[in-house]
Chains A and B, each alone.
Chain A
Amino acid sequence: MAIELEALLKLPPEEILVHNEKPTAEQLRHKQQIYYDDVYEGMELPKYIYKPTPTHLFRWSAAIENFHRIHYDLDFGVNHDKNPSILVHGSWKQSVVPQYLKDWSLPNGWPWKARFDHRAMLVPGDILIMWGRVTSKFEKAGLGFVDLDIGMKTQDGVESMPGNATVVLPVRGGRDIPYPFVPPAD
């Protein structure tokens, strides 16, 4: 059984890593649908746990062609920008969000929207926990809308990306979620 976020944050950093629920390719291939009917307020989503290294940061910089030195040049980051080390990209964190929502809603749900702030400088060595929790749900036009609180906390419980999101899940026995997604009219 998955450990709750509050309990996870009480563990020593290296033990936190053991509880990573990030799915493998095979798990995503065989992912079972979660339905609107199955979710409830307070339900926690699986927790994705990362421990980025300078090489992870460099790989992200290269992938998106972001040449900002604060993400790979330790000398510049520490001595010019006075950062504690090279920094984890806000762009990477915000790209994890739609992945996280997609994974939870697979295979036929839709990761519709999210809103989040960037707080706290994150550095190699930090352990990062992507988390989500259902806050409310409602049905509209035969589709299930689930609101979530989301975030990315460090091993010390510092919230680096407070936010919220809305995922659309199919209602059991209900209609398919349209693709491309068209939100129901107000």
Chain B
Amino acid sequence: MTEQTRSALTPDVKAMIGVTGEVVEAWGVVDAEYLRRFTQALMDPDPRYWDEDFAKSSRYGEIIAPPIMVSYMSSRTPPYQEDPVTKAFQEDPMSDGIGRVSRHGELSPVPTNLVRVLNAGNELEIYKYPSIGDKIYFQHKYSDIRERVGRDGQPFLIITRETTFTNQKGEVLCITRASTIRR
């Protein structure tokens, strides 16, 4: 970096590394209907998801669900929340359909004036299949923030948000990481 380009990894940005949100309970439970709709939309016909007798004979001893399925439960709108779709279009008739919905457990934004956001990759670690009836809990964390220099000589940040999904027994089901570039 030249004298003219300052580091984007300021002390305030660095201080966000490790910041962890509250543990949030996702609305609802892992249920057979969501499992059916999800696995059909995914086009995974595995009988471990729907054939009880077969699933009991498997090493898992019960119907299982794809762990990544629970990651989408974190963005469900609870019934007590104002309808986000209607709100999005009231605020902006040209809304993209998802608007600016604030969700429980979201982390404070990283304090940077680099506004352009690009996807920088995803990770998934799987430890246990969710069971029917599981309550799902999730917690976000900024697991890493690092700086790189682009071909234009300008610094940019790679911010990794890690989310841990657990069930009511505290068992870790899966961990996801989403990295974004801010430049």
| Stretch of A10-18, A39-47, A66-74, A139-147 on the interface side | A66-74
User: A95–B127 contact, CB under 8 A?
Assistant: no
User: A92–B42 contact, CB under 8 A?
Assistant: yes
* A58-99 to B contact mask, C-beta < 8 Å, 1/0: 011011111111100100100011000000001110111111
Q: Which residues B46-77 have CB closer than 8 A to chain A?
A: 46-48, 51, 54, 58-60, 66-69, 72, 75-77
Checking B44, B58, B68, B96 against A94 with a beta-carbon cut-off of 8 angstroms, the contacting residue is: B68
Contacts of B38 in A (CB 8 A): 63-64
User: A112–B125 contact, CB under 8 A?
Assistant: yes
- In the bound complex, CA of A90 to CA of B37 (Å): 18
Please count the residue pairs between chain A and chain B whose beta carbons lie under 8 angstroms apart in the complex: 118
User: B43–A50 contact, CB under 8 A?
Assistant: yes
User: A118–B96 contact, CB under 8 A?
Assistant: no
Checking B43, B45, B51, B72 against A65 with a beta-carbon cut-off of 8 angstroms, the contacting residue is: B72
User: B126–A115 contact, CB under 8 A?
Assistant: no
Q: A65-B75, A68-B97, A98-B126 are in contact. Are A115 and B59 (CB under 8 A)?
A: no
B123 within 8 A of A: yes
Q: How many residues of B contact A (CB 8 A)?
A: 43
Instruction: Return the chain B residue nearest A176 by Cβ.
Output: B59
User: B59–A179 contact, CB under 8 A?
Assistant: yes
Contacts of B172 in A (CB 8 A): 180
Q: How far is the CB of A184 from chain B (nearest CB, A)?
A: 14
User: A115–B96 contact, CB under 8 A?
Assistant: no
User: B41–A65 contact, CB under 8 A?
Assistant: no
Instruction: Return the chain A residue nearest B58 by Cβ.
Output: A107
- In the bound complex, CA of A97 to CA of B122 (Å): 11
| Stretch of A1-9, A23-31, A151-159 on the interface side | A23-31
B149 within 8 A of A: no
Q: How many residues of A contact B (CB 8 A)?
A: 50
- In the bound complex, CA of A93 to CA of B42 (Å): 9
Q: How far is the CB of B104 from chain A (nearest CB, A)?
A: 16
User: B96–A76 contact, CB under 8 A?
Assistant: yes
* B125-139 to A contact mask, C-beta < 8 Å, 1/0: 111100000000000
Q: How far is the CB of A161 from chain B (nearest CB, A)?
A: 9
B22 within 8 A of A: no
Q: A68-B96, A76-B96, A98-B68 are in contact. Are A25 and B45 (CB under 8 A)?
A: yes
B120 within 8 A of A: yes
23 sampled A-B residue pairs with Cβ under 8 A? A28-B48, A29-B47, A50-B43, A63-B37, A63-B41, A64-B41, A65-B72, A65-B76, A66-B75, A67-B98, A68-B97, A68-B98, A73-B97, A81-B96, A98-B66, A102-B46, A103-B46, A108-B59, A113-B125, A115-B124, A117-B122, A181-B127, A181-B128
- Top 9 nearest A-B pairs (CB, nearest first) are A63-B41, A180-B128, A25-B45, A69-B97, A64-B72, A67-B97, A113-B125, A117-B121, A115-B123
